[in-house]
Amino acid sequence: MIHATRFRRPSPRSDRLPLAGLLALATGGFITIMTEALPAGILPAMSADLGVSESAAGQSVMVYAVGSMLAAVPLTAATVGWPRKRLLLVAISGFALANTITAVSTDYTLTMTARFLAGVVAGLLWALVAGYARRMVPAHRRGKATAVAMAGTPVALSIGVPAGTSLAGLVGWRFTFGIMTLLSLILIAWVILTVPGFPGTSRAARLPLRRVLAIPGVAQVLTVTLTFVLAHNVLYTYIAPFLGQVGLADRVDVVLLAFGVASLVSILITGALIDRHLRRLMIVGCALFATATLLLGLLAGVPALVYAGAAIWGLGFGGAATILQTASAEAAGAAGEVAQSLIVTCWNIGIAGGAAAGGVLLGVAGSGSLPWWTFVLVAMALLMTVMSRRHGFPNLVRRLARE
C-alpha cells in the first residue's frame, strides 16, 4: 500500500499546467525584454527628439542593464518576506510608470532616470518569475512551468522588438513606449485575476547571501551563466560589423530572424524535455553554440552556412535562460529567489562584459576574431557544465526517481 501511494500517477487535474497564470508571467518577461531592447532599434529618432547624440541615446540600454545588475540582489533580499503577488504587481507597476515617463519626457536626464527605474524593477521581476512559476505546479512539472513563464523572452527578441521598431517608424517611438504602458496596465488586471498568491519567506527560513552561495551547485550554475552569456554577447552585440566584413551587411535582419525563429523552437524543445533532461539540454545547448561559432569562424564566406550557423546558435541559446534558472532553483531549494537574483546579476554582467570585451576585440583584432573568442568562452561553459554532474547540473531523471 505504501509503494502504491508513493508511485501512483498524479491525477489529470493536478497535472494540468495553469496556463493563464503562467502566460501572465511570460507577458511580464515580454514587457521586460521589450522595454530593455526597444531603444536599440529607434536610436536616430530618440536622439533627435531628446537633442543628444545617438551614442548618448544608446546609453539608455546600458543604464537599464546597470539598474538590473545593481538592484536584483539587494531588492530581492529586502523583499523576500513580502507576499509574492503584491511584489509582482509592484514590479509591473514600475514598468508602467517608467515607460510612461519615457514616452512623454523631453529631458534627457529624466529619460535616463526612467530607464534606470525600469532596470531596477526588471531585476526584481526576473528574480521572481522562475520561482513563482515553480510554486504554481507539482514538482514534476516545474521545469515545464518555468519554460512557459520564460517564453516571453524569445518572443520579444524574435518578434516583439522588430515589430516595435517598425511600429515606431510608422507612428513614432513615444507611441510605442505608450503601448508598453498600456500592456503593463492590462497585465496588472491579468495577474490579479489569474495568478495565485503565495507568502514570502519567513524570517526564520531566510538565508544570508553568503550561505546561498555556499549551497552545493549554486556557484557552478552562476559561473556557467556568466561564461555562457558573456560568450553570447561578445558576438551578438557586434553581429552587424561581423556580417559586414563577410559581405552580408544588408542581410543582418535575415540572419537575426534565423536566430530568433530557432530560439523559439529551442524554448519549445526545452519546455518538453527540461523536467527530465536538464543536464543534457545544457550540454547540447553549449555544443550547438560552439558548433555555430566554428561555422561562423571557418565558413563565414558562404552565406547559406552563415544562416545555418545563426539558426544553430539560436537552437543552442533559446532555452538557456530557462535551463539556467531551473538549475539554479533546483540547487538552491528554499533559497531559490535569492539564487534567481544572482542569476539576473550574472546575466547582466555577462551582457555588459560581453559588449565591452567584444568592443575591445573589434578594435584590436577585427570582427573576424569574435567567433573564435566566443568559441573559447562557450567551450569553458561546456566544460564547467560537464564537470557539475553531482551539483549544479545533475541528472534530474535520477533525482525525480529518488523523490
- From 132, 50, 45, 143, select the one nearest 91 (Cα to Cα): 132
Higher pLDDT: 46 or 90? It is: 90
117 phi, psi to nearest 5 deg:
-60, -40
Query: Residue 302 has what DSSP assignment?
Result: S
pLDDT of the residue at 12: 44
Distance CA 360, CA 356 (A): 6
Question: In whole numbers, what is the pLDDT of the chain averaged over residues?
Answer: 86
Cβ contact 182:353 at 8 Å? no
Helical axes 84-104 vs 173-194, angle rounded to 10°? 170
pLDDT of the residue at 355: 80
CATH number of the domain located at residue range(s) 13-206 in this protein: 1.20.1250.20
pLDDT digits (tens, 9 = 90+) for 25-65: 999 999 998 998 888 777 778 888 999 887 778 778 778 88
Instruction: Give the residue extent of every domain in the chain.
Output: 13-206, 207-403
Query: Going along 135-208, which residue ranges are E strands?
Result: none
Q: In angstroms, what CA-CA distances link 182 with 100, 158, 188?
A: 9, 21, 10
pLDDT digits (tens, 9 = 90+) for 297-344: 998 889 999 999 999 999 999 899 889 988 988 888 777 777 888 888
pLDDT of the residue at 209: 72
Mean local confidence (pLDDT), 253-282: 88
pLDDT of the residue at 11: 45
CATH architecture of 207-403: Up-down Bundle (1.20)
Distance CA 176, CA 165 (A): 8
pLDDT digits (tens, 9 = 90+) for 346-356: 988 888 788 88
Cβ contact 101:111 at 8 Å? yes
Mean local confidence (pLDDT), 215-231: 93
Cβ contact 104:174 at 8 Å? yes
pLDDT digits (tens, 9 = 90+) for 71-86: 888 888 888 888 989 9
Question: Position of cell 568592443?
Answer: 359
Distance CA 316, CA 158 (A): 15
Collapsing DSSP to helix, strand or coil, 202 comes out as: coil
The identity of residue 80, as a single letter, is V
Q: In angstroms, what CA-CA distances link 102 with 50, 178, 272, 397?
A: 11, 8, 38, 47
Count other Cβ atoms within 10 Å, centred on residue 51.
Answer: 11
